Amino acid sequence: MSRAPNYEFQEWWNKQRDNHLSSSSYDHKSQNPNHTHLTLEISNPTHDQILEKERTRSARQLSWLYILKFQQIAHSFAYLTNAFISILATARRRVSSNQSGDVGPESKRIYRVIKVFLVIVVVLLVFELLAYFKGWHFSPPLVKSEVEDLVEHVYAKWLEIRAVYLAPMLQSLINVCIVLFLVQSVDRMVMVLGCFWIKFRGIKPVAEIEYLDGGENVNVEDYPMVLVQIPMCNEREVYHQSIGAVCVQDWPRERMLVQVLDDSDDLDVQGLIKAEVHKWQQRGVRILYRHRLIRTGYKAGNLKSAMSCDYVKDYEFVAIFDADFQPGPDFLKKTIPYFKGKEDLGLVQTRWSFVNKDENLLTRLQYINLAFHFEVEQQVNGVFINFFGFNGTAGVWRIKALEDCGGWLERTTVEDMDIAVRAHLSGWKFIYLNDVKCLCELPESYEAYKKQQHRWHSGPMQLFRLCFLDIIHSKISLAKKTNLIFLFFLLRKLILPFYSFTLFCIILPLTMFLPEAELPAWVVCYVPGVMSLLNILPAPRSFPFIVPYLLFENTMSVTKFNAMISGLFQLGSSYEWIVTKKLGRSSEADLIAFAEKEAEIPGGSPNMHKSSSESGLAELTKLEMTKNTKKKRRNRLYRKELALAIILLLAAVRSLLSAQGIHFYFLLFQGVTFLVVGLDLIGEQVS
């Protein structure tokens, strides 16, 4: 670091130079007028003077530094105070509005169970605090034949009951959950190692042919007939994205037909979708609009109805896209070639990419989960066993495979997993393309995300009950049957939400009040931390969110456990199919690319583009007007999460009495996370 200039010395130097210059000039001129040399005498300041000036300067600099630091601390404190006050005000408004996000009879049942658990925890905490202030924690009282102090006698009896009866049962449950936890951790570790092996060896599916841009010399007979289906229901924000992206596919028009399968019951949305379809029909795209009057079977019923059309027999493949998905123009050229020469290949699934993954904390945490799902789970299962769960969209099916396994069935809310399992049992193979990505949107509100996760975790349990005997009696190998039953269904769909909820939301708080049962610190902290680190590897930019991710996943275990129970025991809301609401976000680069591709469509004159733009503007204006007539969205309260937040925070207070450091911090942060989620402070905030 360069030294700061010494301005005081410079000023002294200038004065001395002027004085000596005037005197020396006069003496030399008087003695020797022709002499041109100049002699200067410089007197240096003393060492004590220099030290005094340096000391004064250092004190002044330190004073300014401390003042600056104090201002920064005061600014940070004011910012945190304002943020805390704002959060409290938001929480107060939501509590006063009493807009509960818990719906469904089984949700109310589990809430009642949690309330009973909360009452027990409060009573135990009061009892333990009383015992602590009386000093019974240091010298536990014994049960005596003669009762001198009733409270002391009751506490002594309680110590005996929990040591002899309750703690052994709780310890057994802890051991079972630890075993399940370790089995699931080993499964996760094996999947990650399999992914590393795939990357190290460069293993990926290979297509036998490749469709190139041949200009006008393209032989359309080389392109198979492809049916593209876009199922949707009341998705006013995103319907135009998928329709527009599909209609500009780089595929011969006469070899592709687009079906827009609209189940909307909103007449305004129906009109908008019809206008969009008509716009593309005018541009020469082969696209049809289909609407069912009765929405039976939800998405599965919609797809089943569309496949019953007579003209479907003329097509060999069907590509499916949800309303918020935007495939690239070369999607079909990158997926269809893999079917060539593989007559037993039934499905080609592509990866999802997300336009709004950095929108808020909720979307960032969702991205970590889905990045692991596609990068590790789908890729490893696709490479090593040629089977994985169909993601319901951004995939291409061989129509013969769909017909061979019985077509779309309406028996569950996970029709995509259902048809994938039945196709696998019929001997069809799947391929996953990790390099082909299809743009889509993540739910930005906790309400939408929670409903989506409920459907995704209740449906597999419905399906497991229905297809268990089919798996047993199928002709696939014993290894594939074992993978389906024990890994695909039991471990990843049933055991994972069970032990996550039981271990971290029930057992851990109980061990604070039953200290004779011990939950090791490595189960609470270290192993979950390692597993979270493995989960976050496919999304390295999300590493700063590893702790919020771990806490949020434990929080979501309540929803997943509730959904798993409802699906396993056929409770009411397990058959409820709710469309995940999206906001219709698109990246700027994708909009530009779409506009360029749209402009290249043959037969599209400038006047036609102008009229289309004007009609689109009119549709947008109409859309905004209809939006204002809809019921306003608002953030809600989630009672189960709030009740569990209180339980965990009370357990954290109890852990202070026994000085359990790691358990205290985990309970504290986990309780705060439940509180934030219960007040709907994560995700989109609606004013």
How far is CA 97 from its chain centroid? 28
Q: By C-alpha distance, which of 600, 681, 575, 591 is closest to 638?
A: 681
Q: What is the DSSP string of 40-64?
A: ----PPPHHHHHHHHHHHHHHHHHH
Report yes or no: 438 and 331 within 8 Å, Cβ to Cβ. Answer: yes
Let me know: does 335 contact 396? Beta carbons within 8 Å: yes
**Angle of helix 639-657 versus helix 546-568 axis, rounded to 10:** 120
Beta bridge partners of 322: none
Catalytic residue among 102, 262, 322, 416: 416
At a CB cut-off of 8 Å and minimum separation 6, what does 602 contact? 284
Task: Bin 685: left if φ > 0, else alpha if -120 < ψ < 50, else beta.
Answer: beta
Q: Is there a contact between 467 and 389 (Cβ–Cβ < 8 Å)?
A: no
Q: What is the C-alpha radius of gyration for the chain, rounded to an integer number of angstroms?
A: 35
Any idea which residue has 């009573």 for tokens?
A: 123
List residues bridging with 433 in a β-sheet. Answer: 350
Helices (H) and strands (E) in the chain, counts: 24, 7
Contact criterion met (CB below 8 Å) for 615 and 275:
yes
CA distances from 95 to 71, 82, 552 (A): 36, 20, 22
CA distances from 225 to 244, 399, 408, 429, 450 (A): 20, 11, 21, 21, 39
Tell me if 511 sits within 8 A of 519, measured CB to CB: yes
Choose among 502, 506, 515, 527: nearest CA to 660. Answer: 515
Distance, CA of 355 to CA of 55 (rounded, Å):
58
Give dist(CA 212, CA 252) in Å, integer: 13
Q: C-alpha angle with apex 326: 539 to 405, nearest 5 degrees?
A: 90
Of 108, 101, 80, give the one whose Cα is nearest residue 681.
101
Q: Is 265 a catalytic residue?
A: no
Q: Kindly state the tokens that stand for 296.
A: 């039976």
Q: How far apart are CA 265 and CA 298, in angstroms?
A: 12
322 is catalytic: no
3-class state of residue 84 by DSSP: helix
Write down the catalytic residue from 263, 322, 324, 680: 263
Q: Report helix, strand or coil for 322.
A: coil
Tokens of 281: 């029909």
Question: How far is Cα 573 from Cα 569, in angstroms, rounded to an integer?
Answer: 11
- What letter does residue 683 receive in the DSSP assignment? B
Rounded-to-10 torsion of CA 575, 576, 579, 580: -90
Which residues have a Cβ under 8 Å from the Cβ of 681 and sit 6 or more positions away? 87, 90, 91
Distance CA 238, CA 274 (A): 14
Rounded CA separation 307/410 (Å): 14
Helix axes 105-133, 150-161, angle to 10 degrees: 120
Residue 296 has what DSSP assignment?
T
Classify 431 as helix, strand or coil: strand
Q: Of 439, 494, 432, whose CA–CA distance to 463 is shortest? A: 494
Give dist(CA 381, CA 393) in Å, integer: 18
Direct distance between the N- and C-terminal alpha carbons of the chain, in angstroms, rounded to an integer? 51
The catalytic residues are 263, 416
